[in-house]
A and B are shown apart, each in its own frame.
Chain A
Amino acid sequence: MSFKKGMKLRVNFASYNLVKGILLPVFNKYNCIDKLPEFIDNRIFFILEGKYNQLMMINTDNINLLSQILKDLSSINFYPYSIGVPIVTFNSLNTKPTIALGRYLVNICKNKVEILDPQLIYKIIYGKSIIINSKKLYNDAIIVDNKNNFIAYAKLVQIDEKRTRVIPIKDIGWYLRRGG
């Protein structure tokens, strides 16, 4: 990706501590902080700094080659559009997890709500709130189906003692609406 003069774009390998600092708020929010070291270990991360910052995660056992390719590209003022999976976007104020990260979080986070009724799941993936018959246990949760598939990040709002409103914040219906 070439950029007009004046626009800044940088790609940098992200160290363990840097990744930990960036992911901490997300892992905290969904109650998986104890799994953070394990999640970072054996994975390679890059930060793509541009219009907004993205933390990217790639699965390759050839880090030297990947570094060489990135170096070659930057030498001619070219930068990648993405490196593996973008997992969060962030700035100094907040960190937002991507839909793609959800797939990893479902296996390690405790703040999860399982929705069994497919009709309710379809409502969520169309971006609509649903009401579930249970007490609110946390403010922020990951919504999964009965196969532990990531469906959405959601806010939970207590309606009364037995009912909770689930408000999707970011859901996999995005692939349908805007994914192309």
Chain B
Amino acid sequence: MESDILKYLNEYESIFTISPTNEAKKLAQKYHFLDYMVERYINMFGNLNEVEEYLYSCSFPLIRSIRCNTLRINCEKLEKMMSEKGFILDKVSWLPHGYVVKKSPKKPSLGATLEYLVGYYHIQGLASMVPAYVLNPGQKDIVLDMAAAPGGKTTQLAQIMNNKGLIVAVEKNRERIKSILSNINRLGVENVLLIRTPAENLLKTNLKFSKILLDAPCSGEGLIQKDPSRRYKTTIEDLRKFAITQLSLIKVAYQLLEEGGYLVYSTCSIAPEEDELIVNYAIEKLGMLTVNVSGYPAEKGYETYHNINFSSYVKNCLRFFPHKHGTEGFFICLLRKE
């Protein structure tokens, strides 16, 4: 591990020291969570009612949603086609191509329709559509997608860019990279250069990018509804390990970004240890600036958590919660390199 990252983590080590209170233990038992997790939620939400609302919301399956793929179809036509098959879609006002699936037939499943196979839509969480819109690449941009599998956001970037410009998508995992290529092919994406390597290897080249998406590997603490095992499988030490990876990756992103370029950092986790702690490093140690993002029904990033004060600029980040926004738990922050 690089010494500056180690030094930074030592500075904020108290974030990883959690002593669950009796209230946390009781709620943890009631909702089958690890007690250290609930103690953190008490710190995050500030009142027990909201903690309970959140824990309760994790018991229900996530609302299913799709992204209409305008590279292949007009969205109104898709709505009509899906309706003829018994799928009732409801347009999400704050997402240009996002739909909630209000009603589905018994067969076929959402991932086995002909419309899915010919690439008219991609099954994607509502909040996970936000990072690509926030990065908002243009048709002349050279975009880096740093941890690209399974390709939902890569293909969404291509859609926003109308298959123009260039996306360099990087994924180190041999198995996971296959899913990116499959999605690229299915969704009619033509502007992606796909590379199997850890993103830090790009530092050996002279490459620089105008826009970077870092949807970082994370604990998935925002996806408990999708995978209930996440209620009890991640330890605080695991969160520390994720933070190390995320800090390393955001530093790599900074080094690969052009001056004046933009970086979107996102995770499918609500853990401040994986979110504000990482963005705070980019602000305080790398000198990056956060950019205010509007137009989404999201909470602001936490300036204070667990008696730790982050840079006040983390308030420009966006937080999505299932109990407040009806989405998966998600964190998104737009940063600029000066």
Contact = CB atoms under 8 A, between A and B. Distances in A.
Interface of A: 1-2, 57-62, 65-66, 69, 72-73, 75-76, 78, 80-86, 98-100, 103, 118, 121-122, 125, 145, 149-150, 172-173, 175-176, 178-180
A4 to B, nearest CB: 13
B193 A58 contact: yes
B197 A176 contact: no
A100 B166 contact: no
B145 to A, nearest CB: 13
Nearest to B182: A179
A1 B196 contact: yes
Contact residues of B: prevailing secondary structure: mixed
Contacts of B168: 69
Nearest to A171: B117
Interface stretch (B16-24, B200-208, B288-296): B200-208
18 contacts: A58-B191, A59-B164, A60-B191, A62-B166, A72-B206, A78-B201, A81-B177, A81-B181, A82-B192, A83-B193, A85-B185, A122-B108, A125-B114, A149-B118, A150-B118, A172-B117, A176-B112, A176-B117
B179 interface: yes
Contacts of A85: 184-185, 189-190
Interface string B155-197: 0000000011110100000001111011111101111111111
Contacts of A121: 114
Contact of B166 (A57, A65, A82, A99): A65
B111 interface: yes
Contacts of A149: 114, 118
A76 B201 contact: yes
A1 B190 contact: no
Interface in B111-168: 111-112, 114, 117-118, 142, 150, 163-166, 168
A58 B190 contact: yes
Given A59-B190, A60-B165, A60-B191, A175 B117 contact: yes
Contacts of B185: 85-86, 98-100, 175
Contacts of B207: 69, 72
